[in-house]
Chains A and B, each alone.
Chain A
């Protein structure tokens, strides 16, 4: 079983719609959780950290469910520029080595 699993998609999303997807992780000792965004042929960029209480950054909302060992990302009012691959990333502690999921591809269409 992979340490971090994601639905590869693609999720085809009409512009303005809401899309949500999850990521599951296998290591219960994981302490730090992140969503990164990666555009084609580019490096990953941190989208947001995921906190236990859940957090929101503009149109993006992340949730963590430790009991079921998954995190989620919800994107509201999708923009064309949201089209990217979203990488779920887990670490045992802040600053430690990161374990990446395979990514979920999102395509926002007009």
Chain B
């Protein structure tokens, strides 16, 4: 149990385009999903916390208008990188936390590698 999927696993896009990444909890309902970014040889940095049905909470320094997060259901959250630039190239990883008392720890998706040309 506790499987989280991400789609796509890899995406290459041109500068200026927008890219949507999906994060799904496959066998549990996730009240909270987290979005992380990891640059090469660096650790994971939390970008935002997303609660189902409410606005995401962004970490300091993360532009909410550039990284749009939607958590419309208990099994799906999306991250849209708008007007992507080469410096947005990174490994984006989501994690999901279950309902209280169920899978209280976070489970990570396999990540999406974004390359912006």
Instruction: Assess the A41–B113 pair: CB atoms within 8 A.
Output: yes
From A42, A94, A95, contact of B110 by CB (8 A): A42
Least CB distance from B4 to A in Å reads 9
Q: How far, in Å, is A70 (CB) from chain B's closest CB?
A: 17
Which residue of the partner chain, among B34, B105, B110, contacts A97 with CB atoms under 8 Å? B34
A102 to B41: give the CA distance in the assembly, Å: 8
What residues of A have a CB within 8 angstroms of the CB of B109 in the complex? 43
Contacts of B110 in A (CB 8 A): 42-43
Give chain A's interface residue range (CB within 8 Å of chain B).
Answer: 10 to 19
Secondary structure type dominating chain B contacts: strand
Q: Which residues of A approach B to under 8 Å, CB–CB?
A: 41-46, 49, 87, 94-95, 97-103
The answer to whether A98 and B106 touch across the interface, beta carbons within 8 angstroms, is yes
Cβ–Cβ contact A94 & B105, under 8 A: yes
Given contacts A100-B44, A102-B42, A102-B43, whether A43 and B34 have CB atoms under 8 Å apart is no
In this assembly, does B108 line the interface, its C-beta being within 8 Å of a C-beta of chain A?
A: yes
